[in-house]
């Protein structure tokens, strides 16, 4: 049997890179937004944890798909795109929540190998001063 796993991971990485390069900048996607700070804590079902923080300035890519930190996870990751869109639409300055990775840790993609890594996130959004003026 041919080993297809490395190909699947490469395809996934290439797809994510492509999506990133195709996404537009923060200022184009959310003109009112000046800056967004995203803090994330990942916790693995096996107990391992890690933290990441990202700062998105106006010129940064408005790309809020967070890859799963688990290196053998397939089709996983966390999509914060809709979270950001909702917060910006409501002009909220803070947001927080938790997502669970729905990927698999096996190319068999059976329920025993669900990734289930958890992401707890908090965001701070800073708006341009003139976007808050009424009218
Ligand atoms: Zn995962």
Q: Is the pTM of this model over 0.75?
A: yes
* Spans in the chain with pLDDT lower than 50: 1, 135
Question: What is the structure's pLDDT at 134?
Answer: 56
- Give me ligand 1 centre to Cα 48, in Å: 13
Question: What is the structure's pLDDT at 131?
Answer: 66
- Give me ligand 1 centre to Cα 101, in Å: 5
- Give me ligand 1 centre to Cα 4, in Å: 19
For residue 68, how many other CB atoms are within 10 A of its CB? 22
- Give me ligand 1 centre to Cα 121, in Å: 15
Question: What is the structure's pLDDT at 4?
Answer: 56
- Give me ligand 1 centre to Cα 135, in Å: 44
- The ranges assigned to domains in the chain are 5-130
């Amino acid at each position: 049997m041919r080993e297809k796993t490395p190909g699947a991971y490469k395809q996934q990485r290439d797809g994510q890179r492509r999506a990133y390069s195709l996404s537009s900048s923060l200022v184009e996607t959310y003109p009112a937004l000046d800056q967004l700070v995203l803090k994330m804590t990942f916790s693995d079902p096996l107990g391992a944890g890690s933290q990441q923080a990202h700062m998105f300035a106006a010129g940064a890519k408005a790309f809020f798909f967070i890859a799963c930190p688990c290196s053998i996870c397939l089709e996983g990751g966390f999509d914060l795109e809709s979270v950001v869109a909702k917060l910006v639409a409501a002009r909220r300055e803070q947001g927080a929540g938790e997502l669970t990775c729905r990927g698999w840790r096996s190319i068999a993609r059976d329920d025993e190998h669900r990734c289930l890594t958890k992401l707890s996130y908090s965001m701070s959004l800073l708006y341009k001063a003139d976007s808050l003026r009424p009218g």
